[in-house]
Structure 1
Amino acid sequence: MLHLGDYIYEYRSGEYPAAKYVVRKHEPEHEIVTLADYRDRHGRYKTDPDLQALHHALPMVAI
């Protein structure tokens, strides 16, 4: 799968302009700006069962 969108969002939880609802609570909740913030947010995304199933089913390139 070739993924052309954003993999993670930097916005504070619930602040993304186009979001009508929050799929998962962001960790950390504040806007991410440091490497540690990015690692925490990325790790949180990786706990999503649907994303895990996608990565299990298909090779994925995020560009």
Structure 2
Amino acid sequence: MPQLNPDPWLLILLSSWLTYIIILQPKISSYLSTNNPTNKDNKSTHMDPWTWPWIQHSSINS
């Protein structure tokens, strides 16, 4: 069974991961984010209740 022989593919796998970890990852992580997160004031948000058009708000049990 050739897939159990790690000789052809193990070197390629390890070299690609080492390339990513050593060379590409520091280059990618050095970029600055353009959208910095901001704190949102939760007290200023006003939530209106959702009204469903097919539900009538009349008192049925009264």
Q: Same fold (TM over 0.5)?
A: no
- TM-score, normalised to structure 1, is 0.27
Higher relative contact order (CA 8 A, sep 6+): 1
**Pair member with larger Rg:** 2
- Pick the structure with more strand per residue: 1
- TM-score, normalised to structure 2, is 0.27
- Pick the structure with more helix per residue: 2
